[in-house]
Amino acid sequence: MEQHYPVMLGESIRYLDPRGDGLYADVTCGLANHTLEIARRLTTGKVLALDRDGETLELARQRAAGSGEAAGRIVFRQAPFSQLGEVLRELGWGKVNGILADLGVSRLQLTSGDRGFSLKERGPLDMRMDRRQELTAADLVNRASERELAALFEETAGERRKTAERIARAIVRGRPVDDTAALAAVVESVVPRHGKLHPATKVFMALRIAVNDEMGELDALLEQAPEWLAAGGRWVMIAFHSLEDRRVKQAFKALAQEGRARVLTKHVVKPADEEVRRNAASRSAVLRALEMN
């Protein structure tokens, strides 16, 4: 398995501040790096490892199995984080002492060609984090209208309107678009390459966000998480683009204004230069944290 670097691991744990007997939820378990770090700090407590990607979750289980006593403090469940409340009710936990969410896409997903997330590997236009769902990127690319695609690329990925329209027109004319390499080529045919960033990068991001309803999922988490946090409970969120971070910032600000919580991060926390050198993917990450009153 390729080396995986958890984003802002030290900062996440510092703000979450796990206590030995506490209950915690890592709602984006991934390969369990953050989960294991929480578990190692527990004595009689437990940490819920939640992820919608069953394949990644199975790898996380395998990694945790070799972690000694910490493994016994982890409860794994496959579910999107919009179902956090349902899972906690099922476990009979009640309120928890901390919630952590790293909203970044797993490096394992990005580097596995058969998952369809990657620009670098030819693969099916899939992009489903949970392969049990029906909607795929191929469905959007080959069935959505030109207007719908243009709006998606402009509003979700931040493409300029004329560029978004040009890309959407090229996709519709090039249908059927069969795989990731074909989609990248269609975009590159109408958007010149400048610098290191591939011109289809934003298109792939927009499709991934739409396929997995990432903004809907985030809104659901932001709405329900405060109800599941005990007094003094900590909530740590790591976002990777402005659409996510804006929502997190507004939700935290509203909770503080209502007197329900105290924001712990006056300004966003960013990864240290050393981490960015080691893991370039962390460069766009921003962390926010609060504590419930």
pLDDT score of 2: 46
pLDDT score of 4: 62
Could you tell me which of 113, 115, 119, 157 has the C-alpha nearest to residue 136?
115
- Cis-peptide into 192, omega within 30 deg: no
C-alpha to C-alpha distance for 8 and 281, rounded to whole angstroms: 11
CA-CA-CA-CA dihedral for 49, 50, 53, 54, to nearest 10: 60
φ and ψ at residue 285, rounded to 5 degrees: -75, 140
The two structure tokens encoding residue 110: 């990005």
The two structure tokens encoding residue 276: 């960015």
Label residue 201 exposed, middle or buried (CB < 10 Å: 0-12, 13-18, 19+): middle
pTM of the full predicted structure? 0.93
Domains parsed from the chain with CATH numbers:
9-108+214-292 (3.40.50.150), 131-211 (1.10.150.170)
Number of residues written out for the chain: 293
Each residue's pLDDT, cut to its tens digit, for the chain (293 residues) gives 445 678 999 999 999 999 999 999 999 999 999 999 999 999 999 999 999 999 999 999 999 998 888 889 999 999 999 999 999 999 999 999 999 999 987 777 766 767 888 888 889 999 999 999 999 999 999 999 999 999 999 999 999 999 999 999 999 999 999 999 999 999 999 998 888 889 999 999 999 999 999 999 999 999 999 999 999 999 999 999 899 999 999 999 999 999 999 999 999 999 999 998 988 888 889 999 999 99
pLDDT score of 193: 85
Beta bridge partners of 9: none
> Which residue carries 């945790």 as its tokens?
64
C-alpha to C-alpha distance for 122 and 143, rounded to whole angstroms: 21
The two structure tokens encoding residue 250: 């507004």
pLDDT score of 1: 42
Alpha carbon distances (Å) from 199 to 42, 93, 97, 109, 210: 45, 46, 43, 20, 19
* Helix (H) / strand (E) containing 22: none
The two structure tokens encoding residue 217: 């999922």
Distant-in-sequence, close-in-space partners of 6: CB < 8 Å, separation ≥ 6: 12, 30, 33, 34, 37, 102
C-alpha to C-alpha distance for 141 and 155, rounded to whole angstroms: 16
The two structure tokens encoding residue 129: 């984090």
Could you tell me which of 92, 82, 8, 53 has the C-alpha nearest to residue 269?
8
